[in-house]
């Protein structure tokens, strides 16, 4: 058999093999990209009443809600409105993302707190909301909830200031809820 005839019989097989390998690489790459997106983005699955805390993740949506049962000690926040283009009533406790189309979407959350719960630093709001965590009350510099009312109460800390001194007020407008927290040991 001549070299020319050999090349004619080998070339089609090699071409088929190369196309199969290229196809497998393309499928593997697509699967990897899709699985990475699934790991970092859960905005589409978050629903009203879900609880958890935000964690930083790489990618176009830098925050991911780490779901927890609302009674879990790590459940620092509760979702009060799912992802929407409408602004949240409580900007300090909302998470923003920019979609691939450039539209800003907002996920609205509030403290998931009862009297006696403690947080690491209640000033972790806005861009620092990803750092807000519930912590054991024995944690140095923890802030403990001493008052909770189911209304938007500007004076929620009036009485607590007399008892605890340094307090932090958190007011949520929609749905209305107000909290007063004091730093442990003050």
Residue 25, pLDDT score? 37
Confidence label for 99 from pLDDT (cuts 50, 70 and 90): low
State both tokens at 184: 């442990």
Helices (H), 41-184: 158-164
Here the tokens at position 85 are 């283009």
pLDDT band at 111, cuts 50/70/90?
Answer: very high
Q: In this structure, what are the phi and psi dihedrals at residue 145, rounded to the nearest 5 degrees?
A: -75, 120
pTM comes to 0.71
Separation of alpha carbons 48 and 26, rounded Å: 38
Q: Is the pLDDT assigned to residue 89 strictly greater than 50?
A: yes
Mean pLDDT lowest for which of 13-22, 70-79, 91-100, 173-182?
A: 13-22
Kindly list the domain boundaries of the chain, sorted by start residue.
1-40, 43-183
């Amino acid at each position: 058999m001549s070299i020319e005839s050999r090349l004619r019989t080998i070339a089609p097989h090699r071409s088929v093999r190369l196309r199969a390998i290229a196809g497998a690489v393309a499928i593997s790459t697509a699967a990897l990209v899709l699985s990475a997106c699934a790991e970092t983005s859960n905005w589409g699955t978050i629903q009203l009443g879900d609880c958890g805390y935000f964690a930083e993740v790489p990618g176009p949506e830098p925050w991911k809600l780490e779901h927890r049962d609302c009674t879990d000690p790590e459940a620092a926040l509760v979702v009060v409105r799912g992802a929407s283009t409408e602004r949240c009533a409580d900007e300090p406790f909302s998470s923003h993302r920019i979609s691939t189309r450039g539209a800003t979407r907002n996920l609205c959350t509030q403290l998931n707190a009862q009297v006696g719960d403690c947080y690491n630093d209640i000033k972790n709001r806005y861009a620092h909301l990803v750092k807000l965590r519930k912590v054991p009350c024995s944690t140095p510099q923890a802030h403990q909830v001493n008052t909770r009312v189911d209304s938007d109460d500007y004076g929620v800390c009036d009485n607590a200031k007399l008892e605890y001194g340094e307090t932090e007020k958190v007011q949520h407008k929609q749905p209305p809820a107000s909290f007063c927290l004091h730093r442990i040991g003050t």
